[in-house]
A and B are shown apart, each in its own frame.
Chain A
Amino acid sequence: MKGFYLLLVAVAVIGGGALWYGSQRSPAPPTPSAPLPVAAADAFHGYTLGSDSAPIEVTEYSDFECPFCASFATVQMPVIREQLISAGKLRWRFRDFPLPSHKYSRYAAMAAQCAGEQGKFWEMHDQLFTNHQWAQTGKNPRSLFRDFARGLGLNLDKYDACMDGQRYVARLEASVQEGEALGVRGTPSFFVNGRPFTGRATSDDFKALVDSLTKKHK
């Protein structure tokens, strides 16, 4: 019996020690520092959803770590996609505007760009916003995002190379500069055919706007 209790104590000590050791290791924040591999002006102006011939274009400046952006993406955007974008009334353009106060928003934006490289930008966009708990924990989301990439069927070698090489960091910077030049101060911010959208960020307001603009076009 004594041997059993010794074994129990040994397991508890080793296991507890491993947990303590793990808690002392702070995750390395994946902040970009390498030289910029892609020129800022790579003629990229954001991923779009919807028909090129749609009469109205909304440009959204968004931050993947921002809770309002996540709420908009998960609650309002599905209605907008279904009723406006799929109907050919509206084209949606997504621009990154990672706020400096958010630790991992640039990293998340990079994950979306790297998924976009393999044709899965919107799928990664949806993953990042739908499973938004990562933004509340403050933990390094690297392996979670990699799990998303795996779940989306991305080539992980290409994804890793893209992330590790920070391939699109200049593209993100260009997007931020563009937003700042347009007067973006917070996220999400919207522009309708290039003009600031001052309504509420709801599907109802976008529907009303599209309806009024469509009538004007007629």
Chain B
Amino acid sequence: MIRRQAIVLLALVGLLVATYLWLYKIGVLGELQCGTGSCEYVQASRYAELFGIPVAFYGVAGYAALMGLGLAGLRPRFAADRRVGALLATLATLGFAFTLYLTAIELFVLHEVCRWCVVSAVIMTAIWVLSIVGLRHRPPTTP
């Protein structure tokens, strides 16, 4: 249960980060607070969109789905349901793979790193690890 709570909390933070980047991309926010990173350079590159949709929006959708699924998994009727854990792990694996792709683009193609993307990558990695570990543990059985 603690793991799913952690996944929900992480997904919420990830959702906020992705929403921030998405709002910037669609022009609602004027400037990214990035410190020493190269957020705007990365966000202005052609890799910041996939099939005409901002990459950040995929993050918003992915984190929202993870959060919704995690919240559903916290309900007593789904707490012992292994399908929820499997779905979480599947979604987290997809998110993790996408994160690896984006990080590789930053490191090896753009040679610039966006600090918010790093935050998102760390969050997605943590969610992935927690969801995989959750799969390996037997769910608590209800009497």
Q: List residues of A whose CB falls within 8 A of some B CB.
A: 1, 4, 7-8, 11-12, 15-16, 18-19, 22-23, 25-27, 131, 133-134, 137-144, 147-148, 150-151
Number of interface residues of B (CB under 8 A): 30
CB-based closest 7 A-B pairs: A27-B30, A144-B40, A15-B16, A147-B41, A147-B38, A133-B44, A140-B30
Report whether A144 and B44 are in contact in the complex, using a CB–CB cutoff of 8 Å. Answer: yes
Q: What string of 1s and 0s marks CB contacts (under 8 Å) between B1-23 and chain A?
A: 00001001100110010011001
Interface assignment of B100: CB less than 8 Å from any CB of chain A: no
- Chain B neighbourhood of A148, CB < 8 A: 41
Report whether B23 and A147 are in contact in the complex, using a CB–CB cutoff of 8 Å. Answer: no
Contact sample, A vs B, 15 pairs, CB 8 Å cutoff: A1-B74, A4-B5, A7-B9, A11-B9, A15-B12, A15-B16, A16-B16, A18-B16, A19-B23, A22-B33, A141-B40, A143-B32, A143-B34, A147-B41, A151-B41
Q: Which of A7, A23, A27, A139 has the most CB of B within 10 A?
A: A139
Interface assignment of B94: CB less than 8 Å from any CB of chain A: no
Give the complex CA separation of A25 and B24 in angstroms: 12
CB within 8 Å: A-B pair count: 74
Give the complex CA separation of A142 and B13 in angstroms: 27
Give the complex CA separation of A119 and B44 in angstroms: 24
Report whether B24 and A19 are in contact in the complex, using a CB–CB cutoff of 8 Å. Answer: no
Residue of A nearest to B26 (CB): A137
Give the complex CA separation of A120 and B8 in angstroms: 48
Report whether B9 and A139 are in contact in the complex, using a CB–CB cutoff of 8 Å. Answer: no
- Chain B neighbourhood of A11, CB < 8 A: 9, 12-13, 16
Report whether A22 and B34 are in contact in the complex, using a CB–CB cutoff of 8 Å. Answer: no
Report whether B112 and A139 are in contact in the complex, using a CB–CB cutoff of 8 Å. Answer: no
Report whether B112 and A147 are in contact in the complex, using a CB–CB cutoff of 8 Å. Answer: yes
